Chains A and B, each alone.
Chain A
Amino acid sequence: MRNIAIIAKREIKGYFTTPLAYIFIVIFLAMSGAFAFYIGGFFNREQASLATFFLYHPWLYLMLVPAIAMRLWAEERKTGTIEILMTLPISTSEAVLGKYLAAWGFTGIALTLTFPMWITVNVLGEPDNGVILAGYLGSFFMAGAFLAIGSCISALTKNQVIAFIVAATVCFLFTMSGLELVLSFFRGWAPEILVRTIASMSFLTHFGAILKGVIDIRDLIFFGTLIAFWLFANVIIIDLKKAA
């Protein structure tokens, strides 16, 4: 635990010693606001809720989270610091978790900084704060799932651009997998059970369920399992590269 915390601390510090953190936060805040107000019609709806704000988070994350995740391992490999990190007296899982938690914590910070939205709806009306809390929680978990995918893919390459593109594509498939666009690709040949499994992987479906304000434990378990799976794969990939 101590090692995970030390690594996470170093990583988080790293975000804030470079412009990366500030650029990410500013763009995240600006875009989440812009989507909510202009595309979502935040005011026109005249509803005291953050539904339009959360609605666009999957799409925002699709672009921004792979950008955070791409450097996690690819950069270490490129600069050779992975040789320092992996010859320190820590296990591979500690390194993976430390780096992952730092990145997740960082997206958490960015998400928290959208609190003026929450204040605004509370000033203007009387929103259901439980639903809003559920939205934040769901959004946070969804970001975590995107990040775990990105982290794992970043471990496969030393090229950050490749890591970004592949991660963004995989995240896109997970986001859209409930929609006809993706399903029709499988429907022709895959057995029904597989199609249904793919459909059940959809981030949009699970996130949408959470947004309704009912925190179904199954939706959180879905994201949690997904995170665990991808991080596990991440550890395996790093260990395999050691033996390759």
Chain B
Amino acid sequence: MFDFGRPDEEAATGLNNKINRQPLGITTMAEKIVLNGLTKRFGPILAVDNISLSVATGEVLGFLGPNGAGKSTTMRMLTGFIEPTSGTAEVCGLDVTRHPVEIKRRIGYLPEGAPTYGDMTPESYLGFIAEIRGFNGPEIRRRIEAVTKKVDIGSVMRQPIDTLSKGFKRRVGLAQAMLHDPEILIMDEPTDGLDPNQKHQVRKLIREMSADRAIIISTHILEEVEAVCSRAVIIAHGRLLADGTPEELLSRAPDHNAVMITVDTNKSDAVKKTLEGLDAVKNTRSEKTANGDTRLVIRPKKGKLIADDVSQLLRSKNIPVQEMFVERGSLDDVFRKITKDGKSAGGGTNA
């Protein structure tokens, strides 16, 4: 349906550069969200199992996980909608169960499915949200106008939300979450139900907002992680199984940074042998392509980059190559590897 695995690469790397440039000291100072051993039990079902993590200003954290992994439940505890069975969640240094109103003031939250009051118009709905968020008079108008422009719903402001398309409904939900310009944004599947153009727009919006905010989004669209997240965690069966930048997660892919070349089948064995002579090469394997040529997958040793060595070697030996590219590995593979490996204790829930 969508171009899985080949995401908005430019954007992802752009964001990473920005994040990497931040001095480390600031990052630790600005921790906005701290989860400590957060656990939620629904009767016999362990929905969230001892999750600890923190998110700082400037970070966009992606919650990845299969359906029923506990992503939404974690978000609900974080926003004070439900209370944890044990463990704590802190937002801006405040415990969410002890200071529910204060933390809710600081959070913008888009719940799963982006529920809205369907019989209201976006205009009256956002007006209500603005009022309850404590804005007055002309400020309400200004806020609504600004957020309406951001999510591009100006054309439907006077229609009942029930009559709007899924994409518009979702964007009304986003407007609700962003209206008060919160320092913390928590969005459960913000791009679900949007068409590719709208997805692109919302991701851009999230990236733009990320500089002075702590943002958590959940998704099961892996390209989204690479497109907007500075960090991602993988959750399955309520447990946190991996935590790292998208690049770090990608490096867990079996073919990460492998060099693929396509050569004439007759010469492939010789080429293979030559390449295996390189220091940084871990192993190679060959596979047939559709038109009878041979593709060699040359995997580097851990942490090595071999593209340069391989191309120089090939050139010096005058070996003709039909194509050559570096495989980044796909998050899909990493995701499958990690979530399948995680023992299926606990069991998922949709709550």
Contact = CB atoms under 8 A, between A and B. Distances in A.
Interface of A: 3, 6-7, 10, 13-14, 17-18, 79-81, 83-84, 86-91, 242-244
A242 B83 contact: yes
A116 to B, nearest CB: 30
Contacts of B244: none
Nearest to B42: A244
A83 B111 contact: yes
Given A14-B119, A81-B117, A84-B176, A91 B101 contact: yes
Contact of B115 (A17, A79, A90): A79
B9 to A, nearest CB: 35
Interface in B12-69: 42
Contact of A7 (B102, B113, B132): B132
B336 interface: no
Interface in B113-127: 113, 115-120, 124
7 contacts: A14-B119, A80-B115, A83-B81, A84-B115, A89-B134, A90-B104, A242-B81
Contacts of A244: 42
A60 B42 CA distance: 41
A13 B124 contact: yes
Interface of B: 42, 76, 79-83, 100-102, 104-105, 107, 109, 111-113, 115-120, 124, 128-129, 131-134, 160, 176
Given A14-B119, A80-B113, A84-B111, A3 B76 contact: no
Contact of B117 (A6, A14, A87, A243): A14
Most B-side CB within 10 Å, residue of A7, A90, A242: A242
Given A7-B132, A83-B76, A242-B83, A17 B120 contact: yes
Given A89-B102, A89-B104, 16 more contacts: A10-B120, A14-B117, A14-B119, A14-B120, A17-B160, A79-B115, A79-B118, A80-B112, A84-B111, A86-B80, A88-B133, A89-B105, A90-B101, A90-B132, A91-B101, A242-B82
B128 A81 contact: no
Nearest to A13: B124
B240 to A, nearest CB: 23
Nearest to B113: A80
Contacts of B118: 79
A10 B121 CA distance: 12
A3 B131 CA distance: 8
Contacts of A17: 119-120, 160
A87 to B, nearest CB: 5
B131 A6 contact: yes
A84 B131 CA distance: 14
Nearest to B80: A87
